[in-house]
Chain A
Amino acid sequence: MTKFDLHNRYKAIVIGGSAGSFQGITKILSSISEDFNLPIIMCLHRLKHVRNGFTEALSIKSKKPVIEPFDKENIKKGMVYLAPANYHLCLELGNSFSLSTEDMVNNSRPAIDITLDSAAYVYKDKLVGILLSGANKDGALGMKRIKERGGLTIVQEPGECMIDTMPTAALEATSIDHVLKVDEIIRFLNELDKLYK
């Protein structure tokens, strides 16, 4: 029996993470099924001036290649996307990405709040938002937006986080549906995926 209230109405997964999230992300990407159905859109804090290397590092163990989308690229099923360096990654109505060089938000570009907020606007109750370990409050407002628009919110259990500021801020900002360890997040994703097969 599952403890999750699963639906196949979801159309996308967004994941935010910062300091201490690399290990968790890598584990998730190496543990999802090879034909995982939903697009996974990741916004992870990263060095602004280093354009190359991050997708390669994430792809090493990932079941799927990780790509940084170009501006106006369509969001496709089964793909894993990563916000590129020094750009905010936004989602547009009509299911495409757009990039932005607007001011940093929470000292970050890409900022998790921007990706999550625009994803919530596009996918409404068809979105799953996941926030992992991190050292600032970026993502908390984005999770609030996801909740307000009817999406599902998940944070990494603060006790498991290398730095728990980020999930803790989200727990304070809004109601979070599931507080999970990385292994449970993986189980959630794979159980969810079965509904699409």
Chain B
Amino acid sequence: MRDIEIAELRNLTQVIKDTYNYDFTNYAMSSFKRRIQRVMDVFKMNSVQELINRLKEDRSFFHDFVSEITVNVTEMFRDPSFWRVARDHIIPNVLLNADTISIWHAGCSSGEEVFSMAVMLKEMGILEKSKIIATDLDPEILDKARAGVYSLKNMELNEKNYIRFQGTGKLSDYYTVRDGKAYMDKSLVANVSWRQHNLVSGPVFNKFDMVLCRNVMIYFNQTLQNEVLKRLHESLFKYGYLAIGSKESLIWCEIANKFIVVNNEEKIYKKIKD
């Protein structure tokens, strides 16, 4: 298939901006281009122009488009060493000075990270003291997260991660298998509030003790990373914690000096300035 040219991508993002007020201009080009290629494959389109025409003519198509554009590959207890540090150091630190903990999963995708958190908090005996908000841009993936149903193939990897995390039980204690699928124990997320939210343009809606935004900003360019980091910063209490992906970095961001590194290996930061 013919490669997509940069000018075509610019046309496309402009049309989306004008028509739907969604701004993909500052998405990282290489992955955005691959996602566009994927949309064209899925919907059997031969050119970017065909995609542009469809977006202009068919407003309902835009939802499908957004679902295909957003990357929704994740795993439970991704980077088990991160979860051990969260359990053994970060969360106990928050609870030194407070009886409750508030957590925001920014870009929660299909919910694996939220269930990981809930399992961990339950094993720590503090799930009832926790207030969790999980947001994503894509309403369809939020439905999937709420449902908490995962393929058994994915559960194999999740189980391996859980063992490396050194949880107190077995991951299978937290789900039942029916019809070849894993149904997560819904009581884990009874207190989770799932919300559609745009990290790029949505409001700052609350303040949290801990924000997890792991492997989300990698899909943005530096301009947009700066903007999003400002919002994450505003959404944290002073001395609250920010966790990003293991190969993400804040060092190029304008407001990096408002954070200190708590754990460099696991990329956990603490807000030290308002």
Interface residues, chain A, with chain B CB atoms under 8 Å away: 49, 51, 68-73, 84, 86-87, 90-93, 98-103, 114, 118, 121, 145, 148
Residue pair B29, A71 in contact (C-beta under 8 Å): no
CB-based nearest B residue for A96: B222
Closest approach, in angstroms, between the C-beta of A103 and any C-beta of chain B? 5
Our pick among B6, B71, B74 for the contact of A100 (Cβ within 8 Å) is B71
Residue pair A70, B248 in contact (C-beta under 8 Å): yes
Find chain A residues with CB under 8 A from B30 CB. Answer: 90-92, 98, 100, 118, 121
Q: Pick from B31, B79, B81, B161 the residue with the most CB of A within 10 Å.
A: B31
CA distance A113 to B225 in the complex (A): 26
Our pick among A49, A100, A145 for the contact of B160 (Cβ within 8 Å) is A49
Our pick among A73, A92, A103, A148 for the contact of B28 (Cβ within 8 Å) is A92
Give residues of chain B (40-91) contacting chain A, Cβ–Cβ below 8 Å: 71, 73-74, 78-81
Residue pair A100, B3 in contact (C-beta under 8 Å): no
Residue pair B246, A102 in contact (C-beta under 8 Å): no
Find chain B residues with CB under 8 A from A72 CB. Answer: 221-222, 225, 249, 252
Closest approach, in angstroms, between the C-beta of B103 and any C-beta of chain A? 21
Find chain B residues with CB under 8 A from A51 CB. Answer: 79, 81, 246
CA distance A93 to B222 in the complex (A): 13
Binds A, one of B138-146, B168-176, B212-220: B212-220
Given contact pairs A71-B218, A72-B222, A121 touches B247 in the complex (Cβ within 8 A): no
Closest approach, in angstroms, between the C-beta of A55 and any C-beta of chain B? 12
Find chain B residues with CB under 8 A from A93 CB. Answer: 6, 29
Interface residues, chain B, with chain A CB atoms under 8 Å away: 3, 6, 28-31, 33-34, 71, 73-74, 78-81, 160-161, 164, 215, 217-219, 221-222, 225, 245-249, 251-252
Closest approach, in angstroms, between the C-beta of A49 and any C-beta of chain B? 7
Given contacts A49-B161, A84-B247, A121-B30, 14 further A-B contacts (CB under 8 A): A51-B81, A70-B251, A71-B245, A91-B30, A98-B31, A99-B218, A100-B28, A100-B30, A100-B31, A101-B73, A101-B215, A102-B34, A121-B3, A121-B33
Given contact pairs A98-B218, A100-B71, A101-B71, A90 touches B31 in the complex (Cβ within 8 A): yes
Closest approach, in angstroms, between the C-beta of A113 and any C-beta of chain B? 10
CB-based nearest A residue for B248: A71
Residue pair A49, B247 in contact (C-beta under 8 Å): no
Our pick among B71, B217, B249 for the contact of A102 (Cβ within 8 Å) is B71
Residue pair B29, A87 in contact (C-beta under 8 Å): no
CA distance A68 to B31 in the complex (A): 19
Residue pair B218, A100 in contact (C-beta under 8 Å): yes
Can you list 13 residue pairs at the A/B interface with Cβ under 8 Å? Answer: A49-B80, A51-B79, A71-B248, A71-B249, A72-B221, A84-B246, A91-B30, A92-B29, A98-B30, A98-B218, A99-B215, A100-B31, A101-B245
CA distance A44 to B33 in the complex (A): 23
Find chain A residues with CB under 8 A from B164 CB. Answer: 49
CA distance A104 to B72 in the complex (A): 12
Closest approach, in angstroms, between the C-beta of B175 and any C-beta of chain A? 21
CA distance A103 to B79 in the complex (A): 17
CA distance A148 to B2 in the complex (A): 10
Closest approach, in angstroms, between the C-beta of A146 and any C-beta of chain B? 12
CB-based nearest B residue for A98: B28
CA distance A148 to B3 in the complex (A): 10
CA distance A134 to B165 in the complex (A): 32
Our pick among A71, A91, A92, A118 for the contact of B247 (Cβ within 8 Å) is A71
Closest approach, in angstroms, between the C-beta of A3 and any C-beta of chain B? 31
Given contact pairs A51-B79, A91-B30, A71 touches B160 in the complex (Cβ within 8 A): no
CA distance A101 to B221 in the complex (A): 15
Find chain A residues with CB under 8 A from B81 CB. Answer: 51
